[in-house]
Amino acid sequence: MDPYSERRLFGRSLTLDPARTAVLVIDMLNDFCEEAGILGNPAALDLCASQNRILASARGSGATVVFVNEQHRTNLAPERAFAKQMTHAYQGSWGADVVAPLTFAEEDLAVIKRRYSGFFQSDLDLVLRDRGISSVVLLGVLTNICVRATAHDAFFLGYNVVVPEDGVGAMSPVEQTASLYDIATHFGWVSDSSSVCAALTSGAVIENTDPDLARRMATL
C-alpha cells in the first residue's frame, strides 16, 4: 500500500475574495536569488514570470501585496547560535534588495523579518488583520525553509494558505516536493499561478490541483 496516496488533501475548494486576500512575496532578494548573492540560487529567478502574473492579478483585483523581506543588522554582534548564522541580507546592502525582475508598485507594502517565518516577531499579522485579510498566497524562496515556516504560522494564526507550485522554489526537487506535499495535506492548498490568477480575477475556486504530488513523494 502506498502510504502517501492514503493521506487526504487539506480542505475543500477555496474561494478567494480579493479584498480579503494578501499575496506575500517571501525573500525574493539578491542574496538568495542572484548568482553573486551570498546564498545565491539563480534558478529562483525563473519564478519571477509566474510571480509577476500573480502580482498583476492581485493588484488589478484589489488584493494586498506584501513583500516580506529578511533583513539583518550589521552591528548586532549576536551571541545566540541562530543569529550567528544570519550573515546575509544586511540592511542597506545590495543583497537585501528585491530582485530586479519583480515589480514593486506604489501601493505594495513591505515587512521586515528577522527569522524564517514572516510572522515571527514581525508586524505582518498586524498589517494583515488591519486590512481584514483572511487568505494568503505565498510566493518566494525557499519552499522548505522560509516559505514553509511562514505557511505554518499563517495556518496556526487562522489564515487560509495557498501556495502556487510555480511561484515558490527550493534547492532541490526532493525539498520542493516534500514541502508542498506536507502543505497540501496539512496546512493549505497547493495550486499553480494560473489557478490563483483566475481565482483573483474571475472568482474561480482554488483546489489542491496537483494529484501527482503523492506519486512524486512515493518516488523520492
Q: Is the dihedral of CA 52, 27, 41, 198 positive or negative?
A: negative
Q: How far is CA 110 from CA 27, 43, 65, 124, 132, in A?
A: 11, 24, 8, 9, 17
Q: Which of 31, 48, 113, 125 is catalytic?
A: 113
Whose grid coordinates read 485579510?
133
Q: Which of 33, 146, 182, 210 is catalytic?
A: 146
Let me know if 146 is a catalytic residue.
yes
Let me know if 192 is a catalytic residue.
no
Nearest-angstrom CA–CA distance, 117 and 204: 29
| Alpha helix positions (H), the chain | 30-33, 48-61, 81-84, 124-130, 148-156, 173-186, 193-202, 212-218
Nearest-angstrom CA–CA distance, 1 and 173: 24
Nearest-angstrom CA–CA distance, 42 and 130: 35
Let me know if 27 is a catalytic residue.
yes
**Would you please indicate which residues are annotated as catalytic (active-site) residues?**
27, 113, 146
